[in-house]
Amino acid sequence: MILFPLSAVLILSIVAVQAEIGYDQTDEQSTPAPVIKKETSVIKFLETPLDINITDGKPVYLSCTVFSTSSVVIEWDVNYITIQGEPDPFNEYQILNVGKKQNEEFKTTSILKLCNPRSGRYTCTASNNFNNISTSIELENMSEECKDDNPWKPNIYEYTPWVKEFYGRSVTLRCKSEGYFVDRSWSRNRRKIEVIRPKYEVNSDGSLVIHDLDEKDEGNYTCSASNDFGQDTKMTVVSKGPKCNL
């Protein structure tokens, strides 16, 4: 039997305890506790759109492309008013969304076609069940009108821009239009004219005849041609004719 001094036994005991604690710590580090991961989705734009100035009167195409790890819904608005895209080829707004899925990832491009668009801030918003992002385009329309290939939309092709006539005479304000079942109306200084004879009459081509012209008849006259496909307007300025020098 071998006898150890008491001090040696205490030292061995302490070493053994430290070794056991160190082993347990090493074992915990090598086998970490399981982590519960929350389901997430990546969604981002792949490009930054540029602001646009329109001067040539042609249709404009706005687009935004989105990368995501789950399917997204893309919407457009102008000045915070939602744009409802319609499949009708004659509609003012047309929205086409083209998506491609590859390896559980999505690339979606939304194209917004505008004809004669209003100036303002156009925003593309992409959203899914996890997140939503948006990007905006400032558009300024500098053109007088947008050429439209829709033959059914009203088009005023002949009108009187201005007329000067003496009091007591009659004047004819031309407003010839084309389109599908076009309704015509006239207003003076933004107030609708009720066509009542003998003061006013409207010809079959939409022209307005004003009889017995007087001071109250002066002002800005607007001819409007409209149907289910749109509206066209033209303005005529009526004023008193110049005095004759005898």
How would you write the pLDDT of the chain (246 residues) with one tens digit per residue? 444 443 433 333 333 333 343 434 444 455 554 443 344 567 788 877 777 777 666 678 888 999 888 888 999 998 888 887 654 444 456 788 888 887 778 888 888 888 777 788 999 999 988 888 999 999 887 765 555 556 778 889 899 898 988 999 999 999 999 887 788 999 999 899 987 788 999 998 889 999 999 999 999 999 999 988 788 999 999 988 765 454
**CA 2 → CA 5, 7, 11, distances in Å?**
10, 15, 17
Choosing from 141, 173, 197, the residue where a domain stops is: 141
Provide the residue type at 62 as one letter: L
Judgement on whether residues 120 and 159 belong to the same structural domain of the protein: no
Provide the domain limits for residue 95.
43-141
Judgement on whether residues 96 and 134 belong to the same structural domain of the protein: yes
CA 27/CA 149 separation, integer angstroms: 76
Residue 102 placed within a domain: yes
Residue 4 placed within a domain: no
**Tokens describing residue 146:** 């947008």
Q: Quote the pTM value.
A: 0.41
Judgement on whether residues 135 and 161 belong to the same structural domain of the protein: no
Residue 124 placed within a domain: yes
CA 197/CA 112 separation, integer angstroms: 48
Question: The domain spanning residue 102 has which CATH number?
Answer: 2.60.40.10
Supply φ then ψ for residue 159, to 5 degrees.
-155, 165
